[in-house]
Amino acid sequence: MSRGFSGAVLRGFGARDYTLTVVSKTEITPHFWRIRFSAPSLFEAVSWEPAAWLRFWFPDPAGSRREFQRAYTIAYADPPSGEFDIDVLMHQPPGPATLWFAQARPGDMIVSTFYGSRFRMPQPEPAGFLLVGDACATPAINSIISAISAHTSIELILEHANEEDLLIPLAAHPKLQLQRIPRTNATSLVEAIQPRHRSGWYAWGAGEAASMKLLHKALKDRHGFTKDTMHIQSYWLEPKMKPQEQE
């Protein structure tokens, strides 16, 4: 199978492949599924941390030898059993990943690559966390919330594209303040962040690429965060409308 340039780069950096076996599928909402995998060799080699992710390699639906990569966050892991969950937003129209997950059954196998996570929970723990994201970021957000001490404040700004996004469950935390906002454009998340005292806080954000670019700039220029006190990551790219599609 062909992975192209990105696959060669990962191999050059020492990334390793792991074969994952589907254990179960659970419908969380009509467009959001939880897939449990078994991969004992994965946890023999790496340690799971909040927001850690795997790069999956999906076959070409057209039948060519090309493979398509997509990254998914480990939403929950049980290293002793070698099992873990990923939460999947089933995009429409479906691409190679959505098509594979829609058809997947227990016992099906797929190859993934693990190279580690660029995010590490800050130590010592900050005075508070500002978490910003959309439905695609919910698995990572849940894993981070679950790792934060009960006495630490969390401000979560969560963007939804439709009513079904509101059904996706969130991890519980005694000091979580949740603000939900509808997505209207790339500025929605930035405009929702209210100026306030956040000295000693850490900011984490993930979501659509244009939104994350604006978020990074706003956190630095308006809200006092630095490269050492924030982690911003693009998860997906919103397709541009063709001229005849614009209103």
pLDDT tens track for 56-114? 999 999 999 999 999 899 988 899 999 999 999 887 788 999 999 999 999 999 999 98
Domain tally for the chain?
2
Same domain? For 199 and 144 the reply is yes
Same domain? For 59 and 34 the reply is yes
Domain final residue, candidates 85, 114, 143 = 114
Q: Please check whether residue 244 lies inside any domain of the structure.
A: no
Domain final residue, candidates 114, 145, 162 = 114
Same domain? For 55 and 141 the reply is no
User: pLDDT tens-digit profile of 228-238?
Assistant: 999 999 988 88
**Quick check: 241 pLDDT over 50?**
no
User: pLDDT tens-digit profile of 21-31?
Assistant: 999 999 998 88
User: pLDDT tens-digit profile of 112-163?
Assistant: 998 666 788 999 999 999 999 999 999 999 999 999 999 999 999 999 999 9
CATH number at residue 208: 3.40.50.80
Cα–Cα distance for residue pair 165/163, rounded to 1 Å: 5
Same domain? For 172 and 104 the reply is no
**Quick check: 204 pLDDT over 50?**
yes
Cα–Cα distance for residue pair 134/130, rounded to 1 Å: 14
Measured CA distances, 141 to 15, 51, 97, 138, 152 (Å): 25, 7, 21, 5, 15
Same domain? For 157 and 94 the reply is no
**Quick check: 246 pLDDT over 50?**
no
According to the model, what pLDDT value does residue 58 have? 96
CATH number at residue 76: 2.40.30.10
Cα–Cα distance for residue pair 56/74, rounded to 1 Å: 12
Same domain? For 90 and 143 the reply is no
Q: Which domain holds residue 67?
A: 4-114
Same domain? For 160 and 224 the reply is yes
Same domain? For 22 and 100 the reply is yes
Q: Is the dihedral of CA 184, 185, 186, 191 positive or negative?
A: negative
According to the model, what pLDDT value does residue 233 have? 93
Report the phi/psi class of residue 200: left, alpha or beta, with left for phi > 0 and alpha for psi in -120 to 50.
Answer: left
Q: Please check whether residue 67 lies inside any domain of the structure.
A: yes
Q: How many CB atoms lie within 10 A of CB 153?
A: 17
Q: Is 152 in a helix, a strand, or coil?
A: coil
Same domain? For 138 and 179 the reply is yes
Q: Please check whether residue 120 lies inside any domain of the structure.
A: no
Angle at 15 (CA atoms; ends 235, 85), nearest 5 degrees: 55
User: pLDDT tens-digit profile of 9-57?
Assistant: 445 445 689 999 999 999 998 889 999 999 988 988 777 788 888 999 9
Q: Is the dihedral of CA 73, 239, 210, 28 positive or negative?
A: negative
Domain final residue, candidates 114, 139, 169 = 114
Cα–Cα distance for residue pair 85/38, rounded to 1 Å: 9
According to the model, what pLDDT value does residue 240 have? 66
